[in-house]
Amino acid sequence: MFRSDLENRPETKSYEPIRPEGGLWRMVKRLLAPLVALGFLFVKFKGLLFLLLKVKFVGTGLSMLVSAGAWALVYPVWFAVGLVVLIWVHEMGHVLQLRREGIRASAPMFIPFLGAYIGMKEMPKNALAEARVGLAGPVLGLLGGLATVGLYALTQNPLFLGLAFFNFLLNLVNLIPVLPLDGGRAVGVLSPVVWVFGFVLMVALSLLVPFMLFIVLFAVLLGGPELWRRWKARNTPEGQAYHKIEGRHRVTVGAVYVGLIVALALLMFATTTPDPTGALAA
C-alpha cells in the first residue's frame, strides 16, 4: 500500500506569530502598572495617607519606600535601596544645618526618580545662612559617597562602586547654580546674576544629556516662580539687605562651592564602572 507524501507530513496548525514588544513600550508598561495601582490606593485611602504624612518620620518613611519601589522598576532592588539611603544622607545634611540656623522646616519628602526635598517654613535671615543650608547637603552627600567607596574596598562588590558613582553624580548635578537646587541657594550669596547663568547651563545640559530634561522641568515648576520673585526683588531694600554679606564670607562660600564641584567631578570619574548597578554580579 502506498501513502501519499501529505499523509507523512505532520499536521499543520494555524498560529499567530509572536510579536516582540519594543524596549520602550515594555518600560512604559512597567512604569504605568504600579503608578495606576498607587493611584487606586491613593483614592481609596487618601484620608489615612494625608493623616500619616503629617507625622514627620512616617511621611518620610513612606515616601522613601515609594521612591525605592520606583527606582527598583529600573535598577536592581538593592541598588534602588542603596540609592535612596544615600539621598537620605544628603538630605540629613540640610536637616542638621537647618536646625543649627534655627529655621523651621518640613521633614524630607522623597520624589521618585528625582530625589527629595525639604520645605522651609521660613526664610533664612540672610543669603549666607541659606548658602550654608544649601551646601550642607552636598557636603554630607560627599562623605556618604566616600563611605560607600570604603564598603567597595572592603567587599569588592561592584554594587557599592556603582552607588558611589551615582551618588557623586547626583550631588554634582545638585550644585548647578539655579533654584531650587542646592547650587542655586549657595550662589545667591555671590550674586543673583549667577542664577541666570545656571539656568542657561541647565538648558544646555538637557540638550546634551536627555535625563537632564526631567531636572530642568522640575527646576522650572518648583523654582521658576521663586527665581523670578527674587530676581525682581534684587534691587529692593529688602533684597539688598538679604544679600549684604561680608566679602570674606563670599570668598569662603565660593571656595567651598568650587571645591565641592571639583571633588565630586573627580570622584565621579574615579568610580566610573561598566557595571554601575552591580547587575552583572547578581
pTM summary value: 0.74
190-219 per-position pLDDT tens digit: 877 787 788 777 777 777 766 667 767 777
The count of structural domains within the chain is: 1
50-85 per-position pLDDT tens digit: 544 455 566 777 888 888 888 888 888 999 999 999
Of the CA atoms within 13 Å of residue 9, those in its CB half-sphere come to 6
Q: Is residue 46 domain-resident?
A: yes
Q: Is residue 68 domain-resident?
A: yes
Between 133 and 2, the higher pLDDT residue = 133
Q: Find the domain containing 148 and state its range.
A: 33-281
Q: Is residue 228 domain-resident?
A: yes
The whole-angstrom separation of Cα 164 and Cα 158 is: 10
DSSP code, position 46: H
Q: Is 247 helix (H, G, I), strand (E, B) or coil?
A: helix
Q: Is the distance from CB of 269 to CB of 261 less than 8 angstroms?
A: no
The whole-angstrom separation of Cα 136 and Cα 256 is: 10
